[in-house]
Amino acid sequence: MKPAAASALLVAAALAAAPLGAARAADLPDPIARAELIGGWTTPSGTRMAALRLTLASGWKTYWRAPGDAGIPPAFDWTGSGNLRSVAFHWPRPEVIDVGGMRTLGYHGELVLPIELTPIVPDAPVDARATVQLGVCDEVCVPLSLSVRAELPKGLPADAAVKAALADQPERLDAPVRCAVEPLRDGLRLTATASLPSPGADEFAVIEVADGGVWVSPADSRRTGPTLVSVADLVPADARPFALDRSQVRITVFGGGRAVEIEGCTG
């Protein structure tokens, strides 16, 4: 297997779980998606900066890490990788997609998702292997299982497509945010009050927490001058109140084609 980006495997769609009849499944594009790992250069901190490049059939879309009213965000399994300690994702700004009164966040055509891999042995190659579960939609929605692999030695050149995706992340703000929490029968209600200028028209906020097992409702947001108040319900798997780590709350505010992101809030 070649050590560069082109060594990544093309993928096959796993359609067995899709609620489609044989005739409808035969109408789907082949392939719906192709995936590869690209990049892999060594950063000043010693990590390898790569990316998942997902190329979708015309008209198809996939989803951001917090998909909105509907959709399935990608989930990665790195079992079988070699010399890999940890993985961090750097999501580019998604499109705001309104269909039939439902607002989702995702990508049409192509997604380049930068992935920062930390090796166990700094100077040794990283053998990156991932199975990616994701949903893609056009007129119907289909679950896909994709496999990618690339060997990433130290010293690969920087990749222009990965650098562009890194530059297209939501703007980071150091804005004061207060998070008030009240218990619900099945979880918590979070009210985030942020002092920040509006990014633009049709403003809305997305609230995320670090625990992927906690469902977060779409936020109800309202603005008064420089203050944005966003309210969301947080429901864990056991549907009971829980302790929330406010430092791990992430708020992304969209509007006017922009997105700004704030990490952490105070009580």
Q: Mind giving me the DSSP string for 147-196?
A: EEEEEE-TTPPP-HHHHHHHHTSPEE----EEEEEEEETTEEEEEEEEE-
Does pLDDT of 21 surpass 50? no
What is the rounded distance in angstroms from the CA atom of residue 88 to the CA atom of residue 16?
30
Q: What's the gap between Cα 149 and its chain centre?
A: 20
Are the C-beta atoms of residues 35 and 5 closer than 8 Å to each other? no
- Write down the pLDDT at residue 101: 84
Residue closest to 150 by CA, chosen among 10, 12, 36, 13: 36
More confident residue, 56 or 240: 56
Does pLDDT of 262 surpass 50? yes
Does pLDDT of 261 surpass 70? yes
How large a percentage of the chain has pLDDT more than 70? 90
Q: What is the mean pLDDT of residues 131-152?
A: 95
- Provide the mean pLDDT of the chain: 89
Are the C-beta atoms of residues 137 and 61 closer than 8 Å to each other? yes
Q: pTM here?
A: 0.87
- Residue 252 is inside which H or E element, if any? strand 250-255
* Secondary structure class of 231 (helix, strand, coil): strand
Give 160-208 pLDDT, tens digit per residue: 999 999 999 999 999 999 999 999 999 999 999 999 999 999 999 999 9
Give all domains of the chain, ordered by start, each with its CATH number.
Answer: 5-167 (2.60.40.1250), 171-263 (2.60.40)
Residue closest to 135 by CA, chosen among 146, 127, 149, 124: 146
* Integer CA distances (angstroms), 14 to 32, 34, 213, 260, in order: 11, 13, 24, 35
β partners of residue 134 = 144
Are the C-beta atoms of residues 170 and 89 closer than 8 Å to each other? no
Q: Which two tokens stand for residue 189?
A: 């209600």
Residues 6 or more apart whose CB falls under 8 angstroms from that of 164 comprise 112
Longest dimension (CA), the chain: 57
- Write down the pLDDT at residue 155: 92
